[in-house]
Amino acid sequence: MMHYPKRCVHCNTRYSYQASGDGCFNPVNDKRYCPICKAIINEALKSVSIKFEKVELPVPENHPIAIEQFEEKYKEWEEDTSFIHFYRVNLGPENFKYKDLKIKNQNYKLIENTDTGEKLLETEYERSTTSGKIEDFWYEY
């Protein structure tokens, strides 16, 4: 269980933020706001509906990033020694390999079936919660 001393960005109260362990997913446990301010924020946001959700879908054929470009960028990323690399832990079937990479604020995932050699490139899209339509790519800013 990890606790960090923090200062609320709104009221400047000192509080303890729990980063791990039982209770870290408490709705008022927050890195930026004390529990009192976070409770007020949560209550205010209850009346605002979620407009978009993130979905992962295969990359269309006319997309500028194809499997070949992804693999080229992934190789460049692996060869870059200016930072520590983190890799996905594969918890799925043993005959699947996963590679994740962010290219121009867009997350991509390459799924490879090692038995057949078949590859599928997926990316994230935003889907409207009201119409169910795919609106745009899901960008992480």
The tens digit of pLDDT for each residue in 62-112 reads: 787 888 888 999 898 888 888 787 776 767 778 888 888 888 888 899 999
Q: Do 37 and 70 sit in the same domain of this protein? A: no
pTM score of the predicted model: 0.64
Query: For residue 60, is pLDDT > 90?
Result: no
Q: Do 98 and 114 sit in the same domain of this protein? A: yes
Query: For residue 127, is pLDDT > 90?
Result: yes
- Per-residue pLDDT, 88: 67
pLDDT-derived band at 18, boundaries 50, 70, 90:
very high
Q: Is the dihedral of CA 11, 12, 13, 18 positive or negative?
A: positive
Q: Do 67 and 25 sit in the same domain of this protein? A: no
CB burial string 32-59: b at 16+ within 10 A, e below:
ebbbebbeeeeeeeeeeeeeeeeeeeeb
Q: What is the mean pLDDT of the chain?
A: 90
Q: Do 65 and 132 sit in the same domain of this protein? A: yes
Q: Do 20 and 89 sit in the same domain of this protein? A: no
Q: Do 37 and 61 sit in the same domain of this protein? A: no
**Residue 27 belongs to what domain range?**
3-45
Q: Do 15 and 83 sit in the same domain of this protein? A: no
